[in-house]
Structure 1
Amino acid sequence: MKLTDADHVRCAIFMFHDDARIWWQGARSAVDMTTLTWNGFKDVFYGKYFTISTRTRLSREFLELCQGSMSIAEYVKKFERGRYFVPMISGNAAEELKHFTEGLNATIRRDVRLSGAQMYQAAVDEAMLSEKDGNDIIKESQAKRASYYVVAHIQD
């Protein structure tokens, strides 16, 4: 959607509820709504809900983010939430892709790189496929082991 700054601000305000709505009732008296830009609005909002120390902590967490024992879906969720606090990455498609793939587990990272994914969403899709393939292999192996176990006990 092509929205003006004023439209962005109005849409965000419309979504406020509970504490955020109450906070905004007081905060709007301190800003000039006729000249408030989207970036200006974000500064006011982040000033209230994301202090500098919180933004610094969230940036650090994002920069150190690794998949570890998370599923790809969990990793993608944390990645997409965190990238907004590191504009040098979220504003650059190549850096975003690089950071995403570097945080993946080695096996999945290798599969994504072998696929030649050039964009973040393609890398996410490839990572999901790689994880699914790995899970399918594990299930198949477990099913075979279980069938061997049953056959061995029947023969005894």
Structure 2
Amino acid sequence: MELSNHQRVSCPGNLLKMDAQIWWDVIKQTRDLNNMTWEEFFHAFSKKYYSPTVLATKVDKFVTLVQGNLSVTYYALKFDRFVKFAPEMMPTDALRVQRFVRGLKPMISSDVMMTSAEVVNYAEVLDRALKIEYLEERIRKDNAARRENYWNKGFNEGNKRKANEG
């Protein structure tokens, strides 16, 4: 199916949201969309949303991105958003995997590396990191419950002794 220039421009333009939708409304008021080519639309959009300064900022955010207090899911989401701005830094899946793992929390990162002796792809590493995060959270909860049970039991037995002595 062949699309006219007008269709090539208006279809994606109508899918824009929030600030981009406002930008699109201004473009529709100031340009003749019937004569606008896809290349003109793409150039105008890129100029607005992907200036050299914006791109440099995105690359910096990617380079310094670490999981920190983020969940693995949210870290992966941010990683995926920023990696597209640094394609020359991540030309292979292996480099992408290496950079992703390096940004994980140390415990999760070491567990992922120990379970990933063979070369794996990004999707497999992400899945392993999610499983490890889940297991670590279960362990934390189990340990917290044991500590609470231990302290509650000790506190109650101490009160019983005092009551028996008194």
- State percent identity of aligned pairs: 22
Q: 1:154 to 1:99 in 2, by over 3 A?
A: same
How big is each residue's C-alpha offset from its partner over 1:62-106, in whole Å with a ceiling of 9 and x where there is no partner? 011111121111211110111111122455322211111111112
Determine helix, strand or coil for the equivalent of 1:88: coil
- Which amino acid letter does the alignment assign opposite residue 120 of structure 1? Y
Q: 1:107 to 1:11 in 2, by over 3 A?
A: farther
Superposition CA RMSD, Å? 2.8
2:105 aligned with 1:118: no
State how far apart, in whole Å, the 2-side matches of 1:132 and 1:49 are: 37
TM-score (structure 2 length as normaliser)? 0.75
| Structure 2, gaps ≥5 residues long | 159-166
Q: What is the Cα deviation at residue 13 of structure 1?
A: 2.1
If you compute each CA radius of gyration, which structure gives the higher value, 1 or 2? 2
Pairing of 1:116-155 with structure 2 (within 5 A) = 116=116, 118-155=120-157
2:97 aligned with 1:94: no
Q: 1:8 to 1:146 in 2, by over 3 A?
A: farther
| Structure 1, gaps ≥5 residues long | none
Q: What is the Cα deviation at residue 150 of structure 1?
A: 1.2
How big is each residue's C-alpha offset from its partner over 1:121-156, in whole Å with a ceiling of 9 and x where there is no partner? 111111111111111111000000111111111101
TM-score (structure 1 length as normaliser)? 0.79
State how far apart, in whole Å, the 1-side matches of 2:32 and 2:102 are: 42
Work out the number of aligned pairs and report it: 148
Among candidates 14, 20, 25, match of residue 22 of structure 1: 25
- Which amino acid letter does the alignment assign opposite residue 54 of structure 2? T
